[in-house]
Amino acid sequence: MIVALTGQKGGVGKSTTAINLAVAALARGKKVLLVDADPQATARTWGDVAAENGHEAPTVVAMGATMHKQGQLPSIAEGYDLVVIDCPPRHGDVQRSALMIADVAILPCGASAADAWALANAIDLINEARVLRDELKAAILLTRKQGRTALGKGARTVLESSGIPVLRTELGQRIAYQEALAAGMGVTTFSPRDAASKEVSSLLDELERFCHGQEADQRHDSQSVVCAAE
């Protein structure tokens, strides 16, 4: 399974989500490749910190706008159970390349109406890619949510009218995500009992189902898998 974390907007948790998914899958015994396609190099820096501290980590490589070409990611991916691509914001050429190889495109979106409105360009890129690859799956992931707020419900309502499925799992605004990254870990290994760990595990489960043909759940926020802030 090749998962691309994509979207035109920065600051919505693409790198955080990519790293945590990769770590969670690794802990389940999967062979995982984390592709850092972002010039900010968050995933690569995290990988260096993990190595310095002796933490088990997925393989991390840097790739860019030619990753879809023969001899690059398609060849490397064959040796892994899961490939997670961390795409940069606004670099449409890199995102297009990722979408030419990905099985699933995940669009992280902050829990506000403004964040939801900003997804329009990213959805256009998904639709362009589907002209060439109708098998490409795509879903929206709500991130940085603060409890069960009206703001988050409003964002989900807007997103559900976008034509792209909205994943049932949501990621909250939690300090554990930042602390885990700073330690060179993912939340599932850094703080396995934290609500953030439960969110990431739920997200990985849902992505595996989604990739195998079970559509994302578009039910109301009251039934979403998000843990209230403790």
Beta-bridged to residue 34, according to DSSP, are: 60, 84
Domains of the chain: 2-223 (3.40.50.300)
Position 83 scores a pLDDT of: 98
Confidence label for 132 from pLDDT (cuts 50, 70 and 90): very high
- Report the share of the chain in percent with pLDDT over 90: 69
Give the residue-averaged pLDDT of 51-74.
96
- What pLDDT was estimated at residue 154? 66
Q: In the chain, what is the straight-line distance between the N-terminal and C-terminal CA atoms, in Å?
A: 33
pLDDT of 176 strictly over 90 = yes
Q: Taken in order 128, 131, 132, 135, is the CA torsion positive or negative?
A: positive
How does pLDDT run across 14-49, given as a tens digit for each residue? 999 999 999 999 999 999 999 999 999 999 999 999
* pLDDT attached to residue 116: 78
Angle value at C-alpha 1, between 58 and 110, nearest 5 degrees? 80
pTM: 0.88
DSSP 82-120: EEEEEPPSS-HHHHHHHHTT-SEEEEEEESSHHHHHTTH
Give the HSE-up count for residue 127: Cα atoms under 13 Å, Cβ half-sphere.
Answer: 9
Q: Rounded mean pLDDT of the chain?
A: 87
Q: Using CA atoms, how far apart are residues 69 and 100, in angstroms rounded to an integer?
A: 9
- What integer pLDDT is reported at residue 27 of this predicted model? 96
Residue 216 has pLDDT above 60, yes or no: no
